[in-house]
Chains A and B, each alone.
Chain A
């Protein structure tokens, strides 16, 4: 059961994207017990600075084709190059990060290979299927996160899937696979370049969920943009990050970058404080793996209390100021 993993570089930091490491390790856990290798495939202008780390998470080899013309996402060029690498390796499984690059290129490859692809998987495992032997079972939320579907691709190879960043966990220990980075020969065709990138504007990163131990999130129940300042203040007082439900974003209380959930970020902080968030499935899909959850909500029947570990039934605009006062006194 051989796996191929698409390796992606953050164009700003020039480092590997976390999801590439996460998928390298996930692929290792799928392939290794069955004696299969994990092969990374990369294209771009230059390799990510910290490629070697991939081998500490179970990758066997990394194939790459670099060319300065590939600094930006030229979909057709990326698709052709990556597809040639996949064909050369003939893997059973192909994993892509569900990033804006992965979600652009992976469907092109699946279409060209006429195989199945499952987007945004939250769980992947191998099991027997009828007389087909071992196949990949791909679980994903669908229908706005209201159902969890298990999708299989029983008759086609490779079995392709995308996974969002932060969904698969990295292990505490590191492996010591030898570093094997190999250039892959490509007859580059100028016609593969169809778009012209006139300008690249780095986004100012306002939200950093990855390194936050604590996330304080507000929902529709916060009531107003003004009240949302309480959420921001509490986050600041605890040294945490500000999160939000889709409703809070839709109401304009807070910018979309803060959104947690099925259509926002997936987070797993040590502590998640949900204020005025009812806990719709759409939101829970992005935060229920948090180690501890505190719910502050007026409605005692809000579903958020079903997944919370600590809770207060009450008005957050009265409760948070008391907490803030306490935190100020303590400092």
Chain B
């Protein structure tokens, strides 16, 4: 197996695994935030801001995997 085939196999796999992880994390974060808003609707503004920060930090991990894919996909299929 040459390195191009390896990259072609592992880049989507790695991105998928990263997406699973951040999906689980986002589910927990947003679910808890929704619960908190349901319990205290008057604090929804503050909770939403905190939730967006947390969601951005979690989502960044998948984006790093995506950036890696962008960086390495140029190496696939060259000639």
- The answer on A and B forming one complex is no
Residues of A within 8 A of B (CB): none
